[in-house]
Amino acid sequence: MHCNFCNIIKKEANALVVWENREFLLFLDIKPINPGHLLLIPKKHIGDVFLLEERTYVRLFKKVKQIAAIVKKNMKAPRVGIAIEGFGVPHAHVHIVPVYKGNELNPLKAKCISEKKMTNINNLFVGSFNGMG
Ligand SMILES: [Zn+2]
């Protein structure tokens, strides 16, 4: 079965991974709505966030809360939006997006940014998530 996110987990596909533990992986979305847009995924392949086993689901959202605080601080964003749809890649994922005004959490606004800009954003996050466990 081909799954882009499983390939990232297996290091067979490139991604700017900013944090991981044994259960979850956090990386920069290659097509951000705003710079600093992250994707949090479980390492075990499951098609939908809402199919996660209850305890894993709770742990996932505890991570979302920790990550949102760090994104808010690092990106100087007044708010952090989260979104779950799952039409693009059939592997459970949560979008975590710094937002600066209303209605920005819109997938139509997602666009690729330069590799240099991605690297700069990645550098802003380096080490920031180390305390998350
Ligand atoms: Zn997968």
pLDDT digits (tens, 9 = 90+) for 123-133: 999 899 998 98
Position 31 in a domain:
yes
Sign of CA dihedral 133, 72, 117, 114: positive
Q: How far is the CA of 61 from the centre of ligand 1 (A)?
A: 19
Is residue 128 situated within a structural domain? no
Range of the domain at 11: 4-120
Which structure tokens are listed for 48?
């939908």
Residue 95, in any domain of the structure: yes
- Domain assignment present for residue 111? The answer is yes
Asked if the structure places residue 116 within a domain, the reply is yes
Residue 110 belongs to some domain of the structure: yes
CATH value at residue 37: 3.30.428.10
Q: Closest Cα to residue 21, out of 56, 46, 49?
A: 56
Q: Tell me the CA–centroid distance for residue 63 and ligand 1, in Å.
A: 19
pTM listed for this prediction = 0.96
Could you tell me if 2 and 10 are in contact, meaning their C-beta atoms sit under 8 angstroms apart? Answer: no
Classify residue 131: in a domain, yes or no: no
Distance 73 CA to ligand 1 centre (A): 30
Q: How far is the CA of 93 from the centre of ligand 1 (A)?
A: 10
Give the Cα separation of 105 and 54 in Å (integer).
27
At 42-70, the pLDDT tens digits run 999 999 999 999 999 999 999 999 999 99
- In the residue annotation, 93 being an active-site residue is answered as yes
R_g over Cα of the chain: 14
Q: Assess if residue 71 is contained within a domain.
A: yes
> Above 80 in pLDDT, residue 1?
no
Q: How many angstroms separate the alpha carbon of residue 2 from the centre of ligand 1?
A: 8
- State the total domains in the chain: 1
Spell out the alpha helix ranges (H) of 89-132. 115-125
pLDDT at 75: 96
Q: Which of 37, 91, 93, 95 is catalytic?
A: 93
